[in-house]
Amino acid sequence: MSQSSGAGYLELIRSNANYRRIWIGDVASLLGDWINAIALYVLIRELTGSPLALGLVFITKTLPFAVASPVVGLLIDRFNRRRLMIGADLIRAVLVLGFLLVDEPGEVWVIYLLGSLQMIVSALFIPARSASIPNITTERELLTANALSAATWSTLLAVGAAVGGLLTEALGVRAVFVLDSLSYVVSALFILRTTIPQATDKPATGVSILRQAWLDIVAGWRHMRARPSIGRMALAKATWAVGGGGLVYMLALLGEKLNPAAPAVGMGVLYSARGLGTGIGPVVMRKTLPQESRWPAMMGLGIVASGVGYLIIGSIPWAAILVLLVVIAHAPSGANWVASSVLLQIRTEDRFRGRVFATEWLAIALVDSLSILGASLLLDWAGVTLRTAILVFAGIEVACGVIWLLVVVPAEAAGLRAGRDLA
C-alpha cells in the first residue's frame, strides 16, 4: 500500500456515501460521549472525593467489553451489522438518561450500573463498526478510512473534552447527559441510511447462543494461533494499555491539580490534549510511513515514546507545559491504534473479522481495567502520591515497548521473509 495510491480524506467523504454516513454518526455520538465523560468524572469526584471511586468509573468504561466480547463476536459475524449498530445507538440513548437520577453519594452505584450497561452495548457497536469498514471501502480507501476514523475519535475527544469541561461548569452535569442521549439518536438516523455488504457464517443448529459464543471464542483463538501475524496485531493495543490505562485514568486527577478552582476545565484541557495527540499521530504516520512492513517497529517505538513522555510529566513542576507534553505522549498511541487496526483488517477474512476484533477488545478491556485498578489502589490504599504513581506507570509503559521491540518485531520480520520465500 503506497502513499500515492491512497484516497484523500475529502475524496473519501465525498465519494463514499456509506462511509460518510457512518462517519457523521460517529462525529455525533463521540462528541456526546466525551462531553458525558467529563461530566461523570466531575460528578463522582463531587459525590465521593475518592480516587478509587473515580477509578471504578473508568473501569465501568472498559471491563464490560470483556464481559460482552464472547457474545459480541457471535452477533457481529452472524447477524446484520447495520441493524446491530442502530439498535445499540437507541439503547444507549435511553441508558444515559438514567444518570439524571443520581444526585447523592448513596446513589453512586447507579453510575456504575448504567455505565456498565452503556459500555456493554458499546462493546457491540464498536467492533461491528470496525468490522464493517473494509466492507464499505476499497483497498485504496482502507488506510484513509481508518486514519480518518481514528483522527475523528481524537478530534472529538479534544473538542468534546474541552467543551464538556466548559458545559459542565456552565450548565451542570444533567444538561450534558441529555445532550449525550440526543447524540446517539443522531448517529442511529445516519446509520439507518447506510448499506453495508457482509459475509456471514451461519450458526450451528440446535446450539444455544452461549454455547455458540463459547465455540466462537475457541474458533477465534484457534484462527489467531494458526495465524500468528493476526494474533500479534490483536494484542498491540493491549500492550500499550498495560501502562497506558493507568496513565489515562490519572489524567483526570492531574487535571484537578492543574486547575483546582475549576476541576472540570482542568480535566477537559488535559483530555483535549490527549485527543489532539492521538489525532496527530495517524495523520503523520499516513504521510511519512506508508510502508506496512515498518509499522510493527514504529508501534514498539511509539509505546516507548509514550512512556518517556509521562516520565517527563512526572518529573517536572505541573504547569501549562503539561498540555504540550500530553499531546506528544499520545501521538504515538494514535498511530499505533490505526496501524494495528489496518493490519488486522487486511490479514483477517471477513467471516472471522468480528470474532477477531471482539477478541482484541477483550484483551484491551481486561488489561486496561487491571491497569486502572492498580493505579487507583496505589493512590487510594497504598497512599502513593500522584506524581510517584505516574512515574511507576510510565516506567511500565517503557518496559512494554522494549518487550514489543524485542519479541514482536523480529517475529514480524521473520514472517515477512517467510512470505517472500513462499512467493
Q: How far apart are CA 272 and CA 262, in angstroms?
A: 15
146-172: per-residue pLDDT in tens?
778 877 877 787 888 888 888 888 888
Q: How far apart are CA 290 and CA 349, in angstroms?
A: 22
Question: Quick one: which of 196, 188, 189 has its CA closest to 92?
Answer: 188
Residue 204 forms part of a structural domain = no
Residue 275 forms part of a structural domain = yes
What was the pLDDT predicted at 209? 64
Q: Residue 117's domain spans which residues?
A: 9-199+219-422
Q: State CA 375 to chain mean position distance.
A: 19
Q: With 0-12 CB in 10 A as exposed, 13-18 as middle and 19+ as buried, what is 278?
A: buried
Collapsing DSSP to helix, strand or coil, 7 comes out as coil
Residue 357 forms part of a structural domain = yes
What was the pLDDT predicted at 4? 45
What was the pLDDT predicted at 399? 97
Looking at 48-172, list the stretches that DSSP marks H as alpha helix, in order from N- to C-terminal side.
51-60, 63-78, 81-95, 108-136, 139-171
Q: How many CA atoms lie within 13 A of 284 on its CB side?
A: 16
What was the pLDDT predicted at 205? 59
Residue 213 forms part of a structural domain = no
Residue 258 forms part of a structural domain = yes
Residue 108 forms part of a structural domain = yes
Total domain count, the chain: 1
Q: How far apart are CA 35 and CA 29, in angstroms?
A: 10
Q: CATH no. for residue 318?
A: 1.20.1250.20
Residue 2 forms part of a structural domain = no
User: What's the start-to-end Cα distance of the chain, in Å?
Assistant: 18
Type of residue at 421:
D
Work out the number of other CB atoms within 10 angstroms of the CB of residue 387.
16
Task: Give me the tens of pLDDT residue by residue for the chain, a chain 423 residues long.
Answer: 444 456 788 888 889 999 999 899 888 888 888 888 888 988 998 899 888 899 999 898 888 877 776 677 677 777 788 899 999 999 999 999 999 999 888 899 999 999 999 988 887 888 788 778 888 888 888 878 877 887 787 778 788 888 888 888 888 889 999 999 999 999 999 999 888 877 665 555 566 666 776 776 677 777 778 888 888 998 999 999 999 999 999 999 998 888 888 888 888 889 889 988 988 888 888 788 878 888 999 999 999 999 999 999 999 998 889 999 999 999 998 888 888 888 888 888 777 776 777 778 778 888 999 999 999 999 988 779 999 999 999 999 999 999 999 999 999 888 766 654 333
Q: Per-residue DSSP letters for 363-378?
A: HHHHHHHHHHHHHHHH
Residue 16 forms part of a structural domain = yes
What was the pLDDT predicted at 167? 87
